[in-house]
Amino acid sequence: MKDKPKIKEVGDLEGLFPRVKSLELRSKADIVKVNRFEAHEIFRKLCKVEFSEGPKVNVGLSFWYHADSDRWPLIAECAFDYEIDKSDDEDEEKDEEFSLPVILGSMGLFTFLQKQPGWFNFNTTTKTSYVYDGL
């Protein structure tokens, strides 16, 4: 297992997330935990799907636990991700954009999954909102 990066200031994030620089934050500004919470995350890859156009999309579930030893997660979230070919794309900003076919396909898949009985709670929130508003 890799060592976790030491993140104490905004500048520590810039190597991990290059677009943080574009936010024009003070590099020496302290990073603080929201509601003193540190998520213990487990991510499970489920499958890859391919829509009519665009790249294959990775589908997975992310579970946040209060502690590593907890049996039940505090919250879970369905996640979509894909890789793009950077060799043909010189615009770094486009590397993080989802194309319209991927957005529509992902929305359709997520809507289908939500209709499965007993699998999803329609009146829920995102993991981030849960930490800000629920803790």
Q: Quick check: helix, strand or coil at residue 41?
A: strand
Average pLDDT over every residue of 86-109: 67
For residue range 42-60, what is the model confidence (pLDDT) as tens digits?
Answer: 999 999 988 877 778 888 9
Please, are residues 40 and 117 in contact by the beta-carbon 8 Å criterion?
no
42 & 75 share domain: yes
As a whole number, the mean pLDDT across the chain is 81
Does 90 have pLDDT greater than 60?
no
Per-residue pLDDT, averaged over 93-110, amounts to: 74
Contact 51, 110 (CB under 8 A): no
Residues 21 and 39 in one domain: no
Q: Does 73 share its domain with 106?
A: yes
Same domain, 50 and 86: yes
Pair of tokens at residue 132: 């800000």
Report the number of distinct structural domains present in the chain. Answer: 2
Q: Would strands 75-81 and 40-49 be described as parallel, antiparallel, or unpaired?
A: unpaired
Planar angle of CA 56, 60, 63, nearest 5 degrees: 160
pLDDT surpasses 60 at 39: yes
pLDDT value for 96: 53
pTM (2 d.p.): 0.64
Q: Provide, rounded to the nearest whole percent, the portion of the chain with pLDDT above 70.
A: 84
Per-position b or e across 5-22, b if 16+ CB within 10 A of its CB: eeeeebbebeeeeeebee
Do both 74 and 8 map to the same domain? no
- Are 101 and 43 members of one domain? yes
Residues 71 and 85 in one domain: yes
Summarised one tens digit per residue, pLDDT across range 22-36 is 888 898 999 888 888
Does the pLDDT at position 89 exceed 60?
no
Q: What residues does 57 pair with on adjacent strands? A: 49
Q: Please indicate, yes or no, whether residues 100 and 82 belong to a single structural domain of this protein.
A: yes
- Identify the domain containing residue 8 by its residue range: 1-32
| Per-residue model confidence (pLDDT) at position 98 | 67
